[in-house]
Amino acid sequence: MYSKMRLLACIDCHGTMALPIDGGLSMVCDSCKREYFKTDGVWDFRADPNTGSQKSLAIYAELEFQRWLEIFEHTESKNWKIYETKLYRFFTQSGHRLLGRSLAKLTKVNDLVVEVGAGNGALHDFVALKNYIGIDTNWNMLCQLATNYPDKTLICTSGGVLPIADGIVDTFVTLHTLEHIYHLAEAFEEITRILKPEGTHYFVIPCEGGLPFSIGRALVTGPSLKRKYSLDIDLVMSREHINDAPRVLKFLKMYFRELKYTHWPLRFLPFLNTNVMIWGHCKSRPELLPLIRRAEIEGAKKPLDGPD
């Protein structure tokens, strides 16, 4: 059903495109003629370094943080301390489990589901999604996802502009992603643009800023990073989780309606200091659309980049 639809949008000119139906490995934007290619199961929609105006923050380019990104991608993403034991996984994969269950129950089988921060596809261990587009800035993680789930549409972008056509998404998913996006308002305007008027945004965020995270870092991940790589956990996590939970909630309240969320594991003690994550859903505010379009036309909004 979705195979013939013009689901994707050119990141340079915003012209729409349909995915090749015959398993083709390239597609061309009708409007600006930019050609996009699929390699190792992943579509490359990253900004053209020659023409792209993608802007990143200077703190993401610092050597010590770059060293961490290298370490994470090549070593730690496969045996990251927080997935080491069953007990750690009970806490660290709780978001995938709860959200997977929720999506299985609340989405219709033909819904178009778009996930930003798809990573290596941990969500798919918990729910089967038929019409799924996964987006991430990390090429190698998406390649791992493509290997494990070859039927998924996967797109690597530079962040900022989403390569999806306007108003077509039923379900938008961010799973442990919003805490990483410094330019939250810009990201939420993009999500509003691509969601259907009744579309839903499902999210999971960590209780960043709360006691359990400070304790976990002081006792578990901090000593491990120090010992293995002499990395400072505070330097790493202040940049990785650049938003604490109150900042994310504040922006969710501004940009979405019918926001409902639950703290986990202690939902009846809904505080940062007594929980490890917050999960929930909200609907877009279509009345923002004309204002977002006007801001785009006036050039008030520039595409911006995040680390991951």
Interface residue with Zn ion among 15, 209, 212, 286 (CB under 5 A) is: 15
Give the Cα separation of 158 and 138 in Å (integer): 9
The answer to whether 122 and 176 have CB atoms below 8 angstroms apart is no
β-pair type (8-9, 169-175): unpaired
Give the Cα separation of 205 and 304 in Å (integer): 21
Which residue's CB is nearer to Zn ion, number 34 or number 97? 34
- As measured in angstroms, the least distance from the Cβ of 113 to Zn ion is 25
Which residue's CB is nearer to Zn ion, number 32 or number 218? 32
- As measured in angstroms, the least distance from the Cβ of 12 to Zn ion is 5
Residue 164 binding Zn ion, by CB under 5 A? no
Which residue's CB is nearer to Zn ion, number 52 or number 209? 52
Which residue's CB is nearer to Zn ion, number 31 or number 147? 31
- As measured in angstroms, the least distance from the Cβ of 28 to Zn ion is 9
Total residues at the site for Zn ion (CB under 5 A)? 8
Interface residue with Zn ion among 7, 9, 19, 29 (CB under 5 A) is: 29
Q: Which two tokens stand for residue 96?
A: 């995938």
- As measured in angstroms, the least distance from the Cβ of 37 to Zn ion is 14
Please write down the HEC assignment for all residues of 111-170.
CEEEEECCCCCHHHHCCCCCEEEEEECCHHHHHHHHHHCCCCEEEEECCCCCCECCCCEE
Nearest to 261 by CA among 165, 178, 180: 178
- As measured in angstroms, the least distance from the Cβ of 157 to Zn ion is 14
Nearest to 302 by CA among 158, 115, 135: 158
Which residue's CB is nearer to Zn ion, number 53 or number 262? 53
Interface residue with Zn ion among 3, 6, 13, 223 (CB under 5 A) is: 13
Which residue's CB is nearer to Zn ion, number 34 or number 247? 34
Residue 141 binding Zn ion, by CB under 5 A? no
Query: Which range touches Zn ion (CB under 5 A), out of 7-15, 67-75, 86-94, 159-167?
Result: 7-15
- As measured in angstroms, the least distance from the Cβ of 165 to Zn ion is 12
- As measured in angstroms, the least distance from the Cβ of 230 to Zn ion is 45
Q: Which two tokens stand for residue 251?
A: 């922006």
Residue 31 binding Zn ion, by CB under 5 A? yes
Which residue's CB is nearer to Zn ion, number 194 or number 252? 194
Residue 32 binding Zn ion, by CB under 5 A? yes
The answer to whether 212 and 218 have CB atoms below 8 angstroms apart is no
The answer to whether 46 and 56 have CB atoms below 8 angstroms apart is no
Q: In the window 50-79, what residues touch Zn ion (CB under 5 A)?
A: none
- As measured in angstroms, the least distance from the Cβ of 138 to Zn ion is 24
Interface residue with Zn ion among 7, 9, 10, 99 (CB under 5 A) is: 10
Cα-based distances in Å from 102 to 108, 122, 208, 245 = 12, 15, 23, 21
Which residue's CB is nearer to Zn ion, number 12 or number 305? 12
Nearest to 172 by CA among 119, 126, 123, 133: 133
Which strands form 277-284's sheet, in the order they lie side by side? 26-28, 35-39, 42-45, 153-157, 131-136, 112-116, 169-175, 195-206, 277-284, 256-264
Residues in touch with Zn ion (CB under 5 A): 10, 12-13, 15, 29, 31-32, 34
